[in-house]
Amino acid sequence: MGDSFGGSGRSVSRPGDTRSPGANPGRVPGATSPGANALGVPATLRHRTQRPKANDPWSQGSLYTAHNLRPAFSLHYDWTGWPTSGTTLPLQTVAVARETAPLWENDGLHLLKPHATAGKVQILFSVTPQVCPTLFCQRVKGRLQHALRKCGAPVNFSRKVSFRSLGENTSEVVENYIRGQVGKADFADPRFRETMRRFTVVSDDVRLADPSESNSGRYWYNLHLVLVVAERYRFTDPEQLGRFRDAALAMATESGHRMAALSVMPDHVHMALRGSIEQSPEEIALAFQNGLARAAGCRVWQDGYYAGTFSEYDLNVIRRIAGQS
């Protein structure tokens, strides 16, 4: 999976960085930086990322807003629909789907691979971070159904759909990557490495291979999120790192997500989670950015994030299926 996230090539770790805990033999791991506030945030970072004044939009409760973020993302959604019982799909379903691509593009959905048989249609898209699974399913089903009716081949789709997030990496790869963050980091002091293990959490009871069931169908909505500390400052205070860990876990539960794996590192955070189907990747990332910044007492994250989708199988499976049509 490498040390970069998304297609941007921006690094999420810096092995050998002189600011790494233990890289400088004279530095005591976990020591508070000079001028740090009670939460362990140094004055230099705090001054550059401090809360704005009362007349600033951030004072309304959001330290980060969508309009000024520069995200990196690799998001793929797959929709499967079935005709109602006793009916079949027309032969031109794939062709009609391709003709509908410009309309989906306006919704933030870029058509990649349609595949259809008489009994079901499966369509793969790349999407923008603003698209949540429920909206995605509505747009795909609604526009396809309208287009088929318009071309003289009306189809009534079943209310039940299947949604799956997909990526180049499988769930096993993503979870192992997060689980191994501390092990592959360049910490010179073994004591600090052992301390850092406390801030990696893997929840065996969160089974990402199982769907989230709803009245509208079955959803596999798995997200890999990465937040990076501004200026790549490194937190080394165990209390602050613990606050980030605890806040992330609490936020996931309160927001309807299920955290499968979490790794709080000195200058970035990795999360693998089952997202709430009514929230977009952008909404989820922003919620964690704001909530974890409040845990630090100020804006500590870069104005961006990485969001990627994954599943128990990768995109190549869908490509092979679509290639048979």
What are the residue ranges spanned by the domains of the chain?
75-167+313-323
Residue 50's contacts (CB-CB under 8 Å, 6 or more residues apart) are 298, 299
| pLDDT (0 to 100) of residue 317 | 81
Q: Which CATH architecture has domain 75-167+313-323?
A: 2-Layer Sandwich (3.30)
Structure tokens that stand for 14 in this block: 């810096």
Residue type (1 letter), 79: W
- DSSP H/E element including 22: none
Q: Tell me how many helices (H) and strands (E) the chain has.
A: 10, 14
- Helix extents (H) in the chain: 43-48, 93-99, 101-106, 133-150, 171-179, 181-184, 190-196, 238-254, 281-296, 315-323
CB environment 18-44: b (16+ within 10 A), e (fewer):
eebbbbeeebebbebbeebeebbbbee
DSSP secondary structure, 123-147, as one string: EEEEE-TT--HHHHHHHHHHHHHHH
Residue 112's contacts (CB-CB under 8 Å, 6 or more residues apart) are 76, 124, 125, 126
| pLDDT (0 to 100) of residue 323 | 61
| pLDDT (0 to 100) of residue 12 | 33
- Going residue by residue through the chain (325 aa), what tens digit of pLDDT does each one get? 433 333 333 333 333 332 232 323 222 223 333 344 544 554 445 444 444 434 433 334 689 999 989 999 999 999 999 999 999 999 999 999 999 999 999 999 999 999 999 999 999 999 999 999 999 999 999 999 999 999 999 999 999 999 999 999 999 999 999 999 999 998 888 999 999 999 999 998 999 999 999 888 999 999 999 999 999 999 999 999 999 999 999 999 999 999 999 999 999 999 999 999 999 999 999 999 999 999 998 899 999 999 999 999 999 887 776 665 5
Nearest of 163, 145, 165, 162 to residue 154 by alpha carbon:
145
